[in-house]
Amino acid sequence: MSGGEKVKVLEETFTRLGVQVSVLDRRVRVIALPESLRKVAEEALSLGFDHLVSIEGIDWPQNNTIEVVYHAESYNDDLRSLLLEIRVRVPRDNPRLESLIDVWPNAILLERETWEMLGVVFEGNPDLRHLLLPPWWSEIPPLRKDYKVQEEGIYVDLE
């Protein structure tokens, strides 16, 4: 099965699940809802995407949501040039999502990092604690837009 048909098969299976599917350059993008996330993940696993590359959170303060983007990948020859991208939007003030550890085991560290950096709570993750930041970190999650980093100009005025 060449790459083209593979993409078509992916497209049909995901549209049957009632999620929005679009294909970009070698990326199958799935816009899922928090409830259907687990179904999409299990479907992706059965299709061959057996591990996660990244769990990424993007903070959209304008429409008050945090978008969690999962990228799944597969090492077998026909799927390796494809990337599966699952986008889920969660409310910004109380971002909660279901942990996908039993579908993709290597999510255990990725979820910790996204929780730490953006405050998205993954229910079911047994050890959700700080990974990169120091354990006593109490300020708001740093990758949120309202965590300001001090900027610098290019001018220095002499006497």
Partner 1 sequence: MSEPIESFGKHLKAIKTGLKYLISPNRITVYYPEEYIELPTGYRGLIRYYPEKCIQCSLCAMICPAGAMKMYRTREDKKGRPGVNYQRCIFCGFCVDICPQNALEMTKVHDVAFKQLEEMIFTPEKFSQEPVSPVVAEGAKKLKTVIDEERGLRHEPA
Partner 2 sequence: MSTSSENGVVYSRLIAKEGDESIYELFIGPQHPSSGHMRFIVRLEGDIIVSVDPDIGYVHRTMEKLAEGREVIKAIPLLERMTIIDSHNVTLGLVLALEKLLDVEAPPRAQYLRVLLSEINRISSHLYGLGIAGIMLNHSTMFMWAFGDREVWIQLAEDLTGARLTHTYSVPGGVRRDMPQAFPERAEKAIRYMERRLKDYMEIFLDNPQVRSRYEGVGVLKKSEASRLGIVGPNLRASGVKYDARLAEGYAAYPDLEFEIPMREDGDCLARMQVRVEEIRQSMSLIRQVIKKLPQGPIFAEKYTRLLPPAIRQQVAQTGQVKFPGIFASLKLPEGDAVSRVEMGHGEIFYHVTGAGSTKPYRLRVVTPSFRNVILFRYLMPGHRFMDFPAIYGSLDYFPPEGDR
Find, among 82, 151, 73, 143, the residue nearest to 114 by Cα.
Answer: 143
Q: Cβ neighbours of residue 143 under 8 Å, at least 6 residues apart? A: 57, 59, 117, 118
Decide: is 75 part of the binding site for partner 2 (CB under 8 A).
Answer: yes
Decide: is 156 part of the binding site for partner 2 (CB under 8 A).
Answer: no
Binding site for partner 1 (CB under 8 A): 152, 154-159
d(C-alpha 108, C-alpha 91), whole Å: 22
- Scanning 7-15, 30-38, 90-98, 126-134 for contacts with partner 2 by CB under 8 A, the matching segment is 126-134
Closest distance of CB 58 from partner 2, Å: 5
> Residue 89: beta bridge partners?
67
The three-state secondary structure class of 121 is strand
Other beta carbons within 10 angstroms of residue 136's beta carbon come to 6
User: Can you tell me which of 52, 66, 68, 86 binds partner 2, judged by CB under 8 A?
Assistant: 52
x/- mask, partner 2, residues 2-21, rule CB under 8 A, reads --------------------
| Contact partner, 108, from partner 1, partner 2, none, Cβ < 5-8 Å per class | partner 2
User: Can you tell me which of 7, 33, 101, 128 binds partner 2, judged by CB under 8 A?
Assistant: 101
